[in-house]
Amino acid sequence: MKIEEILNKKRTLSFEVFPPKKYDEEIDKLFDTIRELKTFNPDFISVTYGAGGTNRKSNAEIAAYIKSLGVEPLAHLTGGPSTYEDIDSIAADLKEKNIENILALRGDKPLDYNDDYCKVFKHATDLMTYLGKYDFSLAGACYPEGHIESESLYDDLQYMKKKEECGAKFFITQIFYDNEYYYRLVNEARKIGIKSPIIPGIMPLLSPKSIKRIKEMCGSTIPLGFRNMLEVYKDNPKVFREIGINYAVYQIMDLIAKGAPGIHLYVMNNAITAKEIISRLENVFSELFKAN
Ligand code: FAD
């Protein structure tokens, strides 16, 4: 089923998983995790894709496994250095596996990036336009604090609009820890005519290491009050984790109360994290995520 159709009927709960580095050794563990995630009744599970196409085969295989369990997969796909032939062959493979939904991305630039890197698909919009000849439901990424390469949020929003014009039927946001950035993004997007659902992406901070990772990965702002609280307990992993989980729960409750069309949880291949969050929000998910 196309995820855009699910979004027309209800709020969505979704998870993101990534292919393990040592595929053959670790894939069974990921499949166990996916089966556990299924018990929380997600509307879809997304699978990341290596920026340079490194995990192309495992991305499609994991998406097919999710589909075999009766959950809708959302396969991430980056244009990056791909050629038209590469994308045609990936699209054919996904079609053969009955995968209907793609999150079309440019991909992160490698450290040795130069202008030759993305010759064909310079931006996600190029990939979306090319994928237009296939009948996939397309999604795009968006950035509550603006994309790191953009001059301003408002420049970035123009390209978000272009993504919609090129076929994106819904968006998933970059991680954020201050919901006000999400509300601003949604308000400004609506002002310039972007109509598609914008699903907030939430990733709990569970250890001091994850603060460093967030900084390197996307630079999302961590509000001072939250940051201070985490600092106090940086040497107490249990308390640190509990604060991180509760903060994510608070973010989700606030987002739902203010009308978010779904919640996308970056669970980092960890079903325990999903369980901890969902068990604290049992009524929110059972009452407020029903079909219309
Ligand atoms: P683009 O839309 O191309 O944007 C990149 C920059 O170019 C932005 O500054 C934008 O404003 C600007 N821009 C956009 N379109 C145009 C245009 N037509 N002309 C000129 N400028 C333009 N990375 C991975 O490698 N694998 C993944 O699986 C993955 N999953 C992700 C999932 C989500 C939900 C998010 C938010 C990000 C994900 N990323 C992933 C990271 C993503 O690849 C990076 O953030 C990347 O730097 C930008 O990707 P994009 O698709 O938004 O690119």
d(CA 46, CA 75): 6
Give the model's pLDDT for residue 112: 78
Q: What is the pLDDT of residues 135-172, one digit of tens each?
A: 999 999 999 999 999 999 999 999 999 999 999 999 99
Give the model's pLDDT for residue 217: 86
Give the model's pLDDT for residue 292: 78
Say how many residues make up the chain.
292
Q: What is the largest CA-CA distance in the chain?
A: 53
Tell me if 78 CB under 6 Å of ligand 1: yes
Tell me if 51 CB under 6 Å of ligand 1: yes
Q: Which atom of ligand 1 is nearest to the CA of 150?
A: 9
Tell me if 126 CB under 6 Å of ligand 1: no
Tell me if 198 CB under 6 Å of ligand 1: no
Tell me if 107 CB under 6 Å of ligand 1: yes
Q: What is the pLDDT of residues 188-247, one digit of tens each?
A: 999 999 999 999 999 999 999 999 889 888 889 999 999 999 999 999 999 999 999 999
**CATH T-level topology, domain 3-288:** TIM Barrel (3.20.20)
Dist. CA 292 → ligand 1 center (Å): 32
Q: What is the pLDDT of residues 6-23, one digit of tens each?
A: 999 999 999 999 999 999
Dist. CA 151 → ligand 1 center (Å): 14
Could you tell me where the beta strands, DSSP code E, fall in the chain?
Answer: 12-17, 44-47, 72-78, 101-105, 137-142, 168-175, 198-202, 262-266
Give the model's pLDDT for residue 50: 87
Reply yes or no on whether 282 is catalytic: no
Tell me if 150 CB under 6 Å of ligand 1: yes
pLDDT at 35 over 90: yes
Give the model's pLDDT for residue 109: 82
DSSP labels for 122-161?
A: -SHHHHHHHHTTS-PEEEEEE-TT--TTSSSHHHHHHHHH
Express as a percent the part of the chain with pLDDT over 70.
100
Run of H or E including 5:
helix 3-9
Averaged pLDDT, 15-33: 96
Which residue owns the Cα nearest ligand 1 atom 10? 156
Dist. CA 80 → ligand 1 center (Å): 10
Reported as a pLDDT band with limits 50, 70 and 90, residue 45 is: very high
Q: What is the mean pLDDT of the chain?
A: 95
Question: Among 16-30, 67-81, 99-113, whose mean pLDDT is lowest?
Answer: 99-113
Give the model's pLDDT for residue 105: 97
Q: Is 225 helix (H, G, I), strand (E, B) or coil?
A: helix
Give the model's pLDDT for residue 278: 97
Catalytic residue among 16, 72, 100, 276: 16
pLDDT at 40 over 90: yes
Q: Helix 124-131 vs helix 84-96: angle between axes, to the nearest 10 degrees? A: 60
Express as a percent the part of the chain with pLDDT over 90.
89
pLDDT at 55 over 90: no
Tell me if 124 CB under 6 Å of ligand 1: yes
Dist. CA 49 → ligand 1 center (Å): 13
| Ligand 1 mutation target, pool 3, 78, 125, 159, most atoms within 8 A of CB | 159
Give the model's pLDDT for residue 215: 87
d(CA 186, CA 181): 9
Reported as a pLDDT band with limits 50, 70 and 90, residue 27 is: very high
